[in-house]
Amino acid sequence: MSKIIILLITLFFGATVIQTDEVESTPKSHPGEPEMVHVYGATFTMGCTNEHVSNCDSDEKPTHQVTVSSFDISKYPITQGQWKAVMGTTIQDQRDKVNPKNPLKGEGDNFPMYYVSYDDAQEFIVRLNELTGKNYRLPTEAEWEFAARGGVKTNAHKYSGDNFLNNVAWSKDKSGGTTHPVGTKKPNQLEIFDLSGNVWEWCSDWYGNYSTAAKLDPQGATSGFRRVARGGSWNSPATDCRTSKRGFGNPDQRNDTFGFRIVL
């Protein structure tokens, strides 16, 4: 069994470790399962921190202290190959639900899945859990931002893993108007790839306003009309690929810039 070791360590850049785990690897039992990265729980400052100040939007304020428990997150966005293994459908099938005449923005087993709504992502998770007996889910917005910032290894970068976007992300400036195979840019400090750029990633939260109150494992607004998406995409300007940038979409919204990753 994993041994829990409680540490009282305050790290630089505002991340305070609340625990670490000696983690045993969990074998994959289905080809649709992604490779996972363990993220140790900690307290961090969420929102418009110093490295973002000149670019911050109003919905990134106020900053507030958030504590997240340890979790595992997929190393890459869910790929088209993983989608096909679980859902039995292809990127063309998803595109056709929107408009068969729309061009594809990258196709192949190692490309990120897109044309995925929040509702579609939840259906994928339900089926994957049925196939594996596990409890995968979408990340909360707080978990996503904490992982994107590098967790307890954060260096306070503007983007996930670097202050120079092109080192870590496929964005509007250099993508050539398409997605790219996952993991082809530099990872962040936790060895997680594509948290900035390539595709926007759905989170579990309803989109809502921040408050100044400190929170423990927040789940977001209790209700709403739109779900949070994070990270920017192949078609996003640099400011949308920042770790504190908040996006959103209707739960049934499908387009060529929205995908997802999962946590356990």
Query: Which of 196, 230, 240, 234 has its CA nearest to residue 121?
Result: 230
pLDDT band at residue 225, thresholds of 50, 70 and 90? very high
pLDDT at 205 over 50: yes
- The span from the CA of 196 to the CA of 55, in Å, is 15
Please give the pLDDT value at position 19. 45
- The span from the CA of 262 to the CA of 43, in Å, is 21
- The span from the CA of 48 to the CA of 63, in Å, is 6
Please give the pLDDT value at position 26. 58
Please give the pLDDT value at position 22. 39
- Rounded to the nearest 10°, the torsion over CA 134, 140, 145, 146 is -60
> Which pLDDT tens digit goes with each residue over 146-177?
999 999 998 899 999 999 999 999 999 999 99
Q: In this prediction, what percent of the chain has a pLDDT beyond 90?
A: 88
Instruction: Name the helix (H) or strand (E) containing 93.
Output: helix 91-98
**Residue where the block lists tokens 């400090």:** 189
Please give the pLDDT value at position 136. 98
Query: Which of 207, 210, 247, 244 has its CA nearest to residue 227?
Result: 207
pLDDT band at residue 10, thresholds of 50, 70 and 90? very low
Core vs surface per residue 183-194: b (16+ CB within 10 A) or e: bebebbbbebbb
Q: Are strands 64-68 and 215-216 parallel, antiparallel or unpaired?
A: parallel
Report the Cα–Cα distance between both ends of the chain, in Å, rounded. 17
Mean pLDDT of 200-220: 97
Mean pLDDT of 77-85: 98
Asked if 258 and 105 count as a contact pair (C-beta separation under 8 A), the reply is no
Structure-block tokens of residue 236: 């996003």
> Which pLDDT tens digit goes with each residue over 86-140?
999 999 999 999 999 999 999 999 999 999 999 999 999 999 999 999 999 999 9
Please give the pLDDT value at position 164. 97
pLDDT band at residue 28, thresholds of 50, 70 and 90? confident
pTM for this prediction? 0.91
Q: What is the mean pLDDT of the chain?
A: 91
C-alpha to C-alpha distances, 179 to 51, 77, 104, 213, 240, nearest whole angstrom: 27, 12, 9, 38, 16
Mean pLDDT of 52-59: 94
- The span from the CA of 156 to the CA of 20, in Å, is 21
Cα 137 versus chain centre, distance: 12
